Structure 1
Amino acid sequence: MAGTSGGRRVEMSGSLSALRPILKRLPAQIAIEARLDPAPVAKFSSLHASGEIQLNGNGSYQIKGGKFDVGDQSFQMDALFQPGARHRFFADLAAKRVDIDALSDIGKGGSSAGKVSAGSGEPHLAMLSAFDADISVAIDELVGGKIRASDVQLAATVRDGHLEARLEHFGLDAGSVTAKASTNVGETPPTVRGNIASSGLDIDSIAKLAGQSVPLSGKLTADMGFAFRGLTAERIRSSVNLQGTVGIREGKLPLAALAEARTADDITGLNLDAKVHDVGKPVDLTGKLVWRGQAVTFKSQLAPASFLASGSVADASGPISLSVSSKCLEGSISGAAGGGGTFKGQVSVTSASVDKLMQWLGQSASHGLRDFAFKGDVDAGPGQLSFQKAAVALNGVKASGQGSMKLGAPLNIRTSLNFAKLDFAAFAGGGEPATGGKQKPNGATDAPIDLSFLKGIDAKVDIQADKLGYGKVFAGPVATTLVVADGKAHLNVPQSPFYGGTIAAEMTADGSKDAASLTLNTAIAGAAAAPLLHDAADFDRIEGTLNATVAVSGSGKTTKSLARSLGGKAAAKFGDGAFRGIDIAEVYNNLVGLLSSGFKQDQTKKTTFTELGASFVIENGVAQTTDISLLGPLVRMDGSGKIDFADQTLDIRLNPRVVASFAGQGGDVAVNGIGVPIVVQGPLFAPRAYPDLSALAKDPQGALDMLSRLGLPTGKLNLDKLIPGQTGSNGDGSGKGAADLIGDLLRNVAPRPKAPPAAPEPAVAPDNPDSAASPPG
């Protein structure tokens, strides 16, 4: 018997042992052979079935203990054929072993397999539309290449032209898989829709089954729907679509197994879910992992269709977005990634502690780098990247610009940045006191300094800064270049605006040794002294125009040890200014009130001057001067003293002379006049300035003569009682002698330390008239 249907020729032949047993509804032996050309599957071009057949009372035919051969594979078969308006066929097939390779491939094989007859169009399943069927298949062992499956259970039904096939069990060493597929057999080409699912396949076992070796281990989960149109491989590849999820559970990735890995630490606890909406749409990835003891969560979106369209992995590229979050890092990217390790797009990264981040990444780090943020356009390749339109922040310092980086040791940086405010103190530990750092109220702090991170950087940074400086002292605008090499950072600041004047400076920070070191050479011209000294040292006693030079260097692991190590030279000259807190001329003009009621410091009072200058020798953090010189309208002054940068204190003694004549502001400091030394002493942020009147006791006659020439009422001072030969009663009936009177005067004038209310004020010993007034507390 032969015929053609839908372009496919079917030839059938058979034999029956005897017809009589069939008519008597008794078993008989039957054999059937069928040939199809073209065959839907290469090895399906020839089929053979045999067994015991019997006619049932309802008109159906039943085969028991039958055998079904397709290709080189044999199945045991029990079947039932029920003729009618729509024939129905039921079959249960069983096999000990089936080799899939012997049945493949679709559209390939024998002389006529996969070939389409003229006018037949695409391969199809129309031949199945003429009957209904229920078929089950049980295979003890299914072999395909290197894959071995056990206890394979399949089932298929055809109802009114609708085919549904189910893989009910597919046992692997790696786990088990279930699947189902359905199609309308009358459609040409047929559209197949289905689903494949697994609750957990061992990834390593799957790789071994496929003859591959992969570094990733764990469980693979899947619940993926699929659809394709056609029965040829080309048709399937071009039309396939997917929708569903694929996941990894408890994955482990030993990075040492990767060729480019620089660390042997493993990624563990990998849990990942990939959600596929459509092969033409991005895939959503979410998951978490543990690396170097830190949990990392991530979320990504990529378009596999773009990658799959490329001819090779190296040339593959497509859109991708990724965000990661860990204790040390928050980051995101959005752009185009390439299979060769390239990326171009937007990048955003933040880290509360760069030190902890670098340690986590296995890189050297230093203490003090924190609050890092980056956002910009990045073009990256293996080991290098460039960035444009970037906003960068570190230790509270913010910048914008562009540049490039090459990963390695050291990290190579070439960039151009614009700063609103560049504070180098932020990178030396001065921007934020360390936990446990010692701090005096309103005074000096002792914070750690660590510049060792400079050893890991080779950089050239072109800088445009509105403000550039250290701590509270800033110049600007400034255009300069920062160069970092061999653990040293060098910055040369050309002449730039500075507190109403200019500054030129050269600075070097050295982090190559155990202790950080700093070198500063600077020249200041025409700067406003009051705001500068306030910002530099919380010193508010001098105003005027400042010209100065400073050459200083030091080293230390903390700000205080650095200050204690400072050495070098400095010189300063103030012009047309004033010394705040005391009016020395008024002190002389009001000695009567001063001696009777005592000295009271008044911040509104000033000693004006035309010029105030001094030079300093700095050693062990202490600046010493012996040539303080002041020229003013009514006052000339010399002096000496020291400034302790580590303790931030000063102790200066000034020797003013009130000029008897109001003429002239220049001239020799050594003029004729009465001298009342001024002591400036205490912390830089709040020093005390007060007169030392003990000099009056040394030369009372000279004091009377000078005060008389100034026209002051000397009789009220009773200084004549201090003149030798004028001892005895002071005339007021008190019986006080010279020593008593000196003690009263000195007690009145000297600033008195604040004492608890209940404690009596100590008296000055009257037997030491040469001693200076006690310094303020």
Structure 2
Amino acid sequence: YQIRGGKFEIGDQAFQMDALFQPGARHRFFADLAAKRVDIDALSDIGKDGSSGGKPAGSGEPDLAMLSAFDADISVAIDELVSGKIRASDVQLAATLRDGHLEAKLEHFGLDAGNLTAKASTDVGGTPPTIRGNIASSGLDIGSVAKLAGQSVPLSGKLTADMGFAFRGLTADRILSSANLQGTVGIREGKLPLAVLADAKDRTADDITGLNLDAKIRDIGKPVDVTGKLAWRGQAVTFKSQVAPASFLAGGSVADASGPISLSVSSKYLEGSISGTVGGGGTFKGQVSATSPSVDKLMQWLGQGASRSLQDFAFKGDVDAGPKQFSFQKAAIALNGVKASGQGSVKLGEPLTIRTSLNFAKLDFAALAGSGGATATGKQKPGAATDAPIDLSFLKGLDAKVDIQADKLGYGKVFAGPVATNLTVADGKAHLSVPQSPFYGGTIAADMTADGCQDAASLDLNTAIAGAAAAPLLRDAADFDRIEGTLDATVAVSGVGKTTKSLARSLGGKAAAKFSDGAFRGIDIAEVYNNLVGLLAGGFKQDQAKKTTFTELGASFAIANGVAQTTDISLLGPLVRMDGSGRIDLADQTLDIRLNPRVVASLSGQGGDVAVNGIGVPVVVQGPLFAPRAYPDLSALAKDPQGALDMLSRLGLPTGKLKLDKLIPGQTGSNGDGSGKGAADLIGDLLRNAAPRPKAPPAAPEPAVVPENGNTENATPPPPSSNAGGEAEAETAAPAAEPTPVDPQVAPDSPETPKKGEIDTLLDQLAN
């Protein structure tokens, strides 16, 4: 039986048909159906008058066993298939039935610019039947596919698939309970608008674009591997994930759905991963890790406020999170190189609320403030000028209470510890109170407040130090290594600045320090007195191995505009007393101090009188803190050269070792016979850098006085012209003098006149 060119209509839908029926032991049926346009919605309305007989929908399962009695070949070709707004073109469907085995193929399903193909097969005699097949697509529009399924999704792009499937039974319940998938599904050039996060000025700025992903399904009961990349706010992001669909499908609703998931993302400003259980209500419980080279740039990328001081960041720990808050346990955290471990909770919002307890090996506030740099790591070269920015504006977005346990706590290179304290942040201000804690062999107590509410950061600091080792503390604090001893100090300062240097320049307040049982490095004042002639002739050479010991050294400072001024430096030590004054520039890291040490006839130390009479050679300390110069100001001896000799003699020092008499041998002094100048007078002249008075106009020469022995070589020249200042010509030969007694402590030496070059050198030194 055959039909050629047959035509019929179903609900105003026109079809053409060619058919052939061949009866026999196994009947065979062939049919080719064709239509120009078919509206699925119109066909589905047929028979909805409620008079349909048979079993209610869903009350039973279709029985395919009747198909096992014959064989068939059927093809369907539809130029346009319409369902609502969906338009499919060139739809080609074929089905073949042979000996109870049914195979159907969707050979072409044109949807927009894409194409969908599928095939399925089953043995119709199975109870229930098992259907296996495959779906493949390329270039399908995601929105159109969603509409085909009666859904609407914000995602646009192209869908690709090569997916095998299998299920048992023909009811929805059986299909869902037995379905399995294997293959890949992909998205190409996807776009996902994120209007919730978008800036009103440019709502396209926050769209996810360039979404390309591939999901590989090995088994519906096993995790799905997802890999892909996208672009967001100008940055490329790659991601990788594993998710178990079966676990989510087991939930009765989206809110109840949950299952294991792992996700890792990689971008320029964020590397992160999660591994745990995700709930449909936006919950997560599992392990999280995240790193960023710049929190500042990461937050800007996320559209949030940030601070330039927040740079490298790392987090790893167990997290229990909800839509608006999360807590963490067993966490390792790092920010700007400062590492911590502990637990806490964070509540999202404005401000960000943090409650946590953290343990630090080394808590460096300089690094956290963004001013640590090389100083915080200890790698800065001595004296290197740094002016790092300070940005505390991030404090305005925090409400924090942090309990701190730190092995070391401090700023830059200066640390105390171990320390137990707490840090609070509220209303843009951070407050830290450090109870008495170990500090460089002594103790320290401190109270600090940092304010980030204004354009420039402000700082208030109050500190009390007791019994600390001065040398390592001053070296770490200011690269200053010229004082050693035990330090007691108080500091109360405040300042405002956008950079470390401007903050230092603004510092104001007061400070006081007392050093005990210590020493000045670089100069031995006692040796200066024992070697005056050598210093005068050869100059002072600083020697780091030299020290001037003391029992007590103290000073107080008034600090204004970053400069600490003092006028009450005092030192007590065996045979030495000292006062002084000067300034330390905290911004430029320089100092200029003048010390007035005096050698005295007393061995008393602490508690002694600093105003003891004595001969002094002032010491000048100048230059950068990391490498100051310390040298004696020898010109001060010019005020009282004879007093210097007398004082050294009263101290019991062997003045003969100074060999001052060798400058002019055989001279006893102007207080002798009045015939000429003594050694003390000449030293005074030289130290005053006195120049000889101009010579009187030439006069008639007087005869030389010839000794009784007639030796004219030792003739005494005529006396010089009168000089009210008691000065003598430098080039004039010294007058003869009575022999001076030999100092029994000095080995007898033959008198020798100083060389002219030595005198010139001395004069040059004093002039400079």
Q: Shorter-chain TM-score category?
A: 0.7 to 0.9
Q: Specify which of 601, 605, 609 is matched with residue 660 of structure 1.
A: 601
Which of 149, 161, 170 pairs up with 2:100?
Answer: 161
May I ask how many residue pairs the two structures share in their alignment? 687
- Distance, in Å, in 1 between the alignment partners of 2:659 and 2:601 is 20
Decide whether the 8 Å contact of 1:443 with 1:685 is kept in 2: no
SS at the partner of 1:370?
coil
Which of 197, 219, 223 is equivalent to 1:278?
219
Correspondent of 2:20 among 63, 68, 80 = 80
- The 3 A distance-change label for structure 1 pair 613 and 723 is farther
Q: Which amino acid aligns with 1:461?
A: V
> Distance in 2 between the 1:317 and 1:480 partners?
41
Q: Which amino acid aligns with 2:22?
A: Q
Alpha carbons of structure 1 residues 575 and 299: separation in structure 2 relative to 1, 3 Å = same
Distance in 2, matches of 1:509 and 1:569, equals 19
In structure 1, the residue matched to 2:693 is: none
2:173 paired residue among 219, 234, 241: 234
Shift in alpha-carbon separation, 1:354–1:535, aligned structure 2, 3 A = same
AA partner of residue 133 (structure 2) = G
* Partner of residue 660, structure 2: 717
Q: Is the 8 A contact 1:255 1:266 kept in 2?
A: yes
**1:545–1:736: structure 2 CA closer, same or farther, 3 Å change rule?**
closer
Residue 204 of structure 1 corresponds to 143
SS at match of 1:694: helix
Q: 2: distance between equivalents of 1:222 and 1:109? A: 41
Q: Which amino acid aligns with 2:456?
A: A
- Secondary structure of the residue aligned to 2:383 is coil
For 1:111, the aligned partner's letter is G
1:320–1:336 contact (8 Å) kept in structure 2: yes
- Higher-strand-fraction structure: 1
Greater Cα shift, 701-710 or 460-469: 701-710
Q: 495-504 or 689-698: which moved more?
A: 689-698
Picking from 188, 194, 209, the partner of 1:249 is 188
Deviation at 1:161, TM superposition (A): 2.2
Distance 1:122 1:214 in 2: 32
Distance 1:661 1:161, change over 3 A: same
Deviation at 1:75, TM superposition (A): 4.3
Q: Which consecutive unaligned segments of at least 5 residues does structure 2 have?
A: 691-756
CA drift of 1:176 comes to 3.0
Amino acid at match of 1:78: D
Q: Does the Cα contact within 8 Å between 2:641 and 2:684 map onto a contact in 1?
A: no
TM superposition shift of 1:151: 2.9
Letter in 2 for 1:124: D
User: Kindly tell me: are residues 722 and 519 of structure 1, through their superposed partners in 2, closer, same or farther at Cα, counting changes over 3 Å?
Assistant: farther
Q: Which moved more, 1:62-71 or 1:465-474?
A: 62-71
> Within 2, Cα distance between the matches of 1:666 and 1:123?
112
For 1:261 and 1:323, the matched residues in 2 are separated by 30
RMSD: 3.5
Deviation at 1:593, TM superposition (A): 3.5
Distance in 2 separating the partners of 1:210 and 1:729: 126
Distance 1:616 1:700, change over 3 A: same
Cα deviation for residue 662 of structure 1 reads 3.8
Note closer, same or farther for the CA distance 1:550–1:441 as it changes in structure 2 (3 Å cut).
closer
Higher alpha-carbon deviation: 306-315 or 170-179: 170-179
How far, CA to CA, are the matches of 1:576 and 1:539 in structure 2? 18
> Is the counterpart of residue 135 in structure 1 residue 74 in structure 2?
yes
Between stretches 526-535 and 717-726, larger displacement belongs to 717-726
1:9-48 → structure 2 map (5 Å cutoff): none
**Equivalent position of 1:430 in the other structure:** 371
Per-residue CA shift, 1:210-245, capped at 9, x if unaligned? 565432221222222111111222222221111222
Q: Please name the residue that 1:477 is paired with.
A: 418
Task: Give the distance between the partners of 1:446 and 1:113, measured in 2 at CA.
Answer: 86
Within-5 A mapping of 1:396-411:
396-411=337-352
Matched, 1:323 2:260: no
Amino acid at match of 2:78: I
**Cα distance, 1:261 vs structure 2:** 11
Over 3 Å counting, the alpha-carbon distance change for 1:144 and 1:460 in structure 2 is same
CA offset digits 1:510-531 (Å, max 9, x no partner): 1111111111100001111111
Quote how far apart the aligned CAs of 1:397 are: 0.2
**Cα distance in structure 2, aligned partners of 1:499 and 1:194:** 77
**Rounded Cα–Cα distance in structure 1 between residues aligned with 2:82 and 2:604:** 119
Report which stretch shifted further, 235-244 or 565-574.
Answer: 235-244
In the other structure, the counterpart of 2:704 is: none
| Residue aligning to 2:430 | 489
Q: Which aligned pairs between 1:33-72 and structure 2 lie closer than 5 A?
A: 61-66=1-6
Matched, 1:613 2:613: no
**8 Å CA contact retained: 2:578, 2:610:** yes
CA contact (8 A) 1:632 1:666 kept: no
Matched, 1:111 2:53: yes
Which AA in structure 1 matches 2:659? K
Cα separation, partners in 2 of 1:425 and 1:513, compared to 1, 3 Å: same
| 1:414-436 deviation line (CA, Å, top 9, x unaligned) | 111100000000022321169xx
Query: Normalised by the size of structure 2, how large is the TM-score?
Result: 0.82
Deviation at 1:352, TM superposition (A): 0.2
Q: What residue identity is the alignment partner of 2:480?
A: F
Distance (whole Å) between structure 2 residues aligned to residue 664 and residue 95 of structure 1: 118
What is the alpha-carbon distance in structure 1 between the residues aligned to residue 536 and residue 362 of structure 2?
51
Relative to structure 1, the CA distance from residue 764 to residue 553 in structure 2 (aligned partners, 3 Å threshold; closer, same or farther) is farther
What is the DSSP-based 3-state SS (H/G/I as helix, E as strand, rest coil) of the residue aligned with 2:510?
Answer: strand
Instruction: Check the 8 A contact 2:191/2:209 in 1, yes or no.
Output: yes
SS of residue in 2 equivalent to 1:365: coil
Change in 2 beyond 3 A, CA 1:598/1:163:
same
The 3 A distance-change label for structure 1 pair 717 and 109 is farther
How far apart are the structure 2 equivalents of 1:420 and 1:703?
A: 57
- Matched AA of 2:219: D
Instruction: Tell me the alpha carbon deviations over residues 121-161 of structure 1, each in whole angstroms, 9 at most, x when there is no partner.
Output: 96432222232221111234445566443432110112232
For 1:93, give the aligned amino acid: L
Letter aligned with residue 90 of structure 1: F
**CA pair 537-346 structure 1, distance change in 2 beyond 3 A:** same
Contact kept in structure 2, 1:520 and 1:553, CA below 8 Å: yes
Give 1:444 shift.
3.5
Structure 1 residue 86 displacement after superposition: 3.3
Measured against aligned partners, the alpha-carbon deviations of 1:59-84 in whole angstroms (never above 9, x if no partner) come to xx433234678899774322223344
How many percent of aligned residue pairs carry the same amino acid?
A: 82
Aligned in 2, Cα 1:223/1:729: closer, same or farther, shift over 3 Å? farther
**Deviation, structure 1 residue 684:** 0.8
174 and 205 in structure 1: CA distance in 2 versus 1, 3 angstrom threshold: farther
Query: Which position in structure 2 is the counterpart of 1:550?
Result: 491
1:350 Cα deviation after fit? 0.4
Partners of 1:556 and 1:424 in 2: CA distance = 16
Q: What amino acid maps onto 2:655 in structure 1?
A: L
Aligned CA distance change for structure 1 residues 552 and 761 (closer, same or farther; 3 Å): farther
Q: 1:93 aligns with which of 30, 33, 38?
A: 33
Q: Return the TM-score normalized by structure 1.
A: 0.82
Does 1:346 find its partner at 2:287?
A: yes
Tell me which of 664, 683, 694 is aligned to 2:635.
Answer: 694
| Superimposed CA distance per residue, residues 670-704 of structure 1 (whole angstroms, 9 cap, x where no aligned partner) | 11221111111111111121111112111111112
Please give the secondary structure, in 2, of the residue aligned with 1:315.
Answer: coil
Query: In structure 1, the residue corresponding to 2:511 is in which secondary structure?
Result: strand
Deviation at 1:247, TM superposition (A): 1.8
Out of 382, 387, 402, the residue aligned to residue 446 of structure 1 is: 387
Q: 1:715 to 1:270 in 2, by over 3 A?
A: closer
* 1: CA distance, partners of 2:361 / 2:668: 65
Cα distance between partner residues in 2 of 1:618 and 1:548: 15
Q: Which 10-residue stretch deviates more, 229-238 or 394-403?
A: 229-238
Aligned mates of 2:39, 2:589 — CA distance in 1:
90
Task: Give the AA of the match of 2:505.
Answer: R
Check conservation: 1:255, 1:263, Cα contact below 8 A. no
Q: Could you tell me which amino acid in structure 2 is paired with residue 220 of structure 1?
A: L
Gap regions ≥5 residues in structure 1: 1-60, 745-759
Query: Partners of 1:395 and 1:362 in 2: how far apart?
Result: 21
> 2:444 pairs with 476, 498, 503, which one?
503
Moved more, 93-102 or 577-586: 93-102
